[in-house]
Amino acid sequence: MKEKVELNEIQIDRIIEMAWEDRTPFDAILLQFGLKEQQVIKLMRREMKPTSFKMWRARVQGRKTKHAKSRSETVDRFKCSRQRNISNNKVSKR
């Protein structure tokens, strides 16, 4: 039996943001939100315009950083070390 995950608008926006990020693997989305790669793909297809979805799929397919098992052993975090932290919709200062 499949589990249906209930997501609010904020969670959906965060999943879409994580899916677009190059260094965030699908495993991170699974860990945080309980969605497998196929469920993320369905969510992206449902929430995005068809042209945006096609552009995202072309970008993600074959990208090693989107799958933790395919990543280099030197990559040990979900985001770039130069990426700024975001809190309360404001960019935090370092």
So what's the pLDDT on residue 45?
A: 95
Question: Which residues, in sequence order, are bridge partners of residue 18?
Answer: none
What would the pLDDT profile of 12-70 be if each residue is shown by its tens digit? 999 999 999 888 888 889 989 999 999 999 999 999 999 999 999 988 887 766 665 55
Please check whether residue 15 is in contact with residue 29, taking contact to mean a CB–CB distance below 8 angstroms. Answer: yes
Name the amino acid, one letter, at 36: K
The better pLDDT of the pair 49, 85 is held by: 49
Please tell me the total number of residues recorded for the chain in this structure.
Answer: 94
Q: In the structure encoding, which two tokens stand for residue 63, read together? A: 């990208």
φ/ψ (deg, to 5) at 46:
-75, -40
So what's the pLDDT on residue 22?
A: 80
Taking each helix axis as running N to C, give the angle between helix 50-60 and helix 37-47, from 0 to 180 degrees, rounded to the nearest 10: 150
Q: In the structure encoding, which two tokens stand for residue 39, read together? A: 């469920």
Quick one: pLDDT band at residue 89, thresholds 50, 70, 90?
Answer: very low
